[in-house]
Amino acid sequence: NAGVTQTPKFRVLKTGQSMTLLCAQDMNHEYMYWYRQDPGMGLRLIHYSVGEGTTAKGEVPDGYNVSRLKKQNFLLGLESAAPSQTSVYFCASTAVVDVHEQYFGPGTRLTVT
Amino acid sequence: DAKTTQPPSMDCAEGRAANLPCNHSTISGNEYVYWYRQIHSQGPQYIIHGLKNNETNEMASLIITEDRKSSTLILPHATLRDTAVYYCIVTVMAAGNKLTFGGGTRVLVKP
C-alpha cells in the first residue's frame, strides 16, 4: 500500500493564480481531511469529507474549495492564490472502523509570491 | 474541544524514558486524549489514544489521571529518531473525528 499520497510536492504560484492539490489514498478510508501548517505552528483543518460526494468546512476554509468525487481522492482548490496561503498542506485519511488513527500524507509545500 | 497545555520544549537522554505531560483540565466525559508526533517536516504520525484507562502499544504508554484533567505520554527508551514535535489533542469522536493541533512539545533526544 502506498498509503496517502499528495501531488505535487512543491509549487510556487503568483498571486491570483489557481491550482489544485490532489490527495489520494489506497486504504479504502471513508474520511479524508485537508490541513495547513504555517511555520512554527500546529496543523489547522481546512475542509474534510466523511464520504464520497460530501464535504464540510473546517477551522480555516476561506479561500479554498474541495471536492470528493471518488472515495479515494480528495482535491483541494485555490481559485485565486494569496500570499497568506503560503503554507505546507497535509492530507489525511481514516477508516470508520478505526476512526481514532488518521494517516497523513507527506505534504505539499506551497509558496505564493 | 477541550484546550490542552503542553510545555513548549524538553530534552531527553537517549536510552532513557521520556515523559511528556499534557494538561486538559476542561475535558468532558466523552472526549478522548490523542497523541501524535511530527518528525521534521513530515506528516504527523499517530502514537496512541485513550479515554479513561491507561493504554500501551508498541510505541508508547499513555497515563491518564483519575480525574482525566491531565495525561502523560511515556516513550520508554527514547532514541534519536524520537526527536520530534509531540501533540496532545483532546476531542470528541464525532462524525469526521476532527483533530485540533496546538503548539505541541518539541522533544530533542540527545546522545
What confidence category does residue B1 fall into, taking pLDDT thresholds of 50, 70 and 90? Answer: low
A43 touches chain B (CB under 8 A): yes
Question: How far apart, in whole angstroms, are the C-alpha atoms of residue B26 and residue A34?
Answer: 27
A112 touches chain B (CB under 8 A): no
Instruction: Give the residue from A11, A7, A6 showing the smallest Cα distance to A109.
Output: A11
Mean pLDDT of B45-62: 96
Q: Which residue is associated with the grid cell 495547513?
A: A36
Question: How far apart, in whole angstroms, are the C-alpha atoms of residue A67 and residue A55?
Answer: 7
Between B40 and B2, name the one with better pLDDT. Answer: B40
| CB B37, CB B6: distance < 8 Å | no
CB pairs under 8 A between A and B: 57
B63 touches chain A (CB under 8 A): no
Q: Do B101 and A44 touch (CB under 8 A)?
A: yes
A34 touches chain B (CB under 8 A): no
Mean pLDDT for all residues in chain A: 95
What confidence category does residue B2 fall into, taking pLDDT thresholds of 50, 70 and 90? Answer: low
Q: Do A42 and B42 touch (CB under 8 A)?
A: no
Q: What pLDDT, in 10s, does the model give residues B59-83?
A: 999 999 999 999 999 999 999 999 9
Instruction: Give the residue from B81, B87, B69, B86 showing the smallest Cα distance to B28.
Output: B69
Q: Which residue is associated with the grid cell 512539545?
A: B105
| AA identity, residue B80 | L
What confidence category does residue A54 fall into, taking pLDDT thresholds of 50, 70 and 90? Answer: very high
Q: Do A42 and B87 touch (CB under 8 A)?
A: yes
Instruction: Give the residue from A51, A70, A75 showing the smallest Cα distance to B95.
Output: A51
